[in-house]
Structure 1
Amino acid sequence: MTSLDQIAPAFVGMAHSIVWASAATVDANGRPRSRILHPIWEWDGTDLFGWIATVPSPVKRAHLAVHPEMSVSYWTSTHDTCSAECLVEWYTDDETCTAVWNKFAKGPEPVGYDPKIIPMWSGGPTSDEFAALRLSPYRLRVMPGAVMTKGEGAPLVWTSS
């Protein structure tokens, strides 16, 4: 099994190069719903967390209220893939929302962007239309495309204990 300090930098590097992720939540009846989201990840050498700037829609709120978990999967045409299965926490307080807004506004290319480009966020990070999700992974998988297309190497997998 791969350790977090071995996989986290590879995961962040691949996720940030791909940028957009397919994310899935599950409703109270066990039905999944997928959407495309744009997480930003932070690795400090010990802990890995993801942040998603999002609209606190009734569907997302309902799903995460009963199943506070999300699967996040990245893919690119070279068949590089990485995924994170995570516990999720909502944040709607002004301090956290402003901090997350700034993570994206000051983030490195290509994952950083100006959140003001989203029309419904014209009120800024303290508006009712803006919220932050914190992702705490309990399983990570990183697989460079050459593993699948050329049989070179093996996927990296980490699961928390």
Structure 2
Amino acid sequence: MDELAQVAPAFVEMAHRIVWATAATVDERNRPWTRVLHPIWQFDGERLVGWIATSPTPTKRAHLNANPYLSLTYWHPDQDTANAHCRAELCEDDDTRVWLWENFASAPEPVGYDPAIIPPWSGGPTSPAFVALRLEPWWLRVQPGALMAGDPTAKILHWRERD
């Protein structure tokens, strides 16, 4: 079985359970910036893609134009952690934005929510304040907190895209 097929389901389970991730980009002067975001992940058995409903701020645009990568870290108080290093792209076409809006609205909680509750997005999925941020991971890591507690069955899972 492919390494991604072994790691991606564990990554998605942990990410969707934790929900919120610290996301880091790099500015034009190579300085890191972090923010907290709410991704949703899809794994079709061969490819893992993440999506973030977000606002296209000038800062976010500048960072992704200068360096189209984003790093995510999920952390839970029981010490479960998951990381994803991704290529990132803002998708501004109406079809993608409507699709992502509906995807979040129809997903089960805790990862699913109604995007209309976010005040800048009250104009709906085709509002200028709403875009889709597409993530294609090239590196994943999943570490259960039980590992730190000495559980001999717990193990770190990791995957890296082959160059």
Q: TM-score, normalised by structure 2?
A: 0.96
Map 1:1-161 → 2, pairs under 5 A: 3-152=3-152, 153-161=154-162
Q: Aligned partner of 1:52: which letter?
A: I
CA distance in 2, matches of 1:41, 1:65: 23
Q: Aligned partner of 2:80: which letter?
A: D
Cα deviations by residue, 1:82-134 (Å, 9 ceiling, x for unpaired): 01000001101111000011110001211000000000000000010000000
Unpaired runs of at least 5, structure 2: none
CA distance in 2, matches of 1:124, 1:156: 38
CA distance in 1, matches of 2:84, 2:46: 17
CA distance in 2, matches of 1:37, 1:149: 28
Cα distance, 1:154 vs structure 2: 2.3
Q: Secondary structure of 2:149's match?
A: helix
CA distance in 1, matches of 2:158, 2:115: 32
What is the RMSD of the two structures over their aligned residues, measured on CA atoms? 1.0
Q: Aligned partner of 2:50: which letter?
A: G
Q: TM-score, normalised by structure 1?
A: 0.97
Q: Aligned partner of 2:136: which letter?
A: S
Q: Secondary structure of 1:123's match?
A: coil
Cα deviations by residue, 1:18-69 (Å, 9 ceiling, x for unpaired): 0000000000111000000000000111110000000000000000001000
The runs of 4+ residues in structure 1 deviating greater than 2 Å are 151-154
Between the aligned residues of both structures, percent identity stands at: 56
Q: Secondary structure of 2:124's match?
A: coil
CA distance in 2, matches of 1:159, 1:132: 24
CA distance in 1, matches of 2:64, 2:151: 38
CA distance in 2, matches of 1:21, 1:98: 23
Cα distance, 1:151 vs structure 2: 4.9
Equivalenced residue count is 160
Unpaired runs of at least 5, structure 1: none
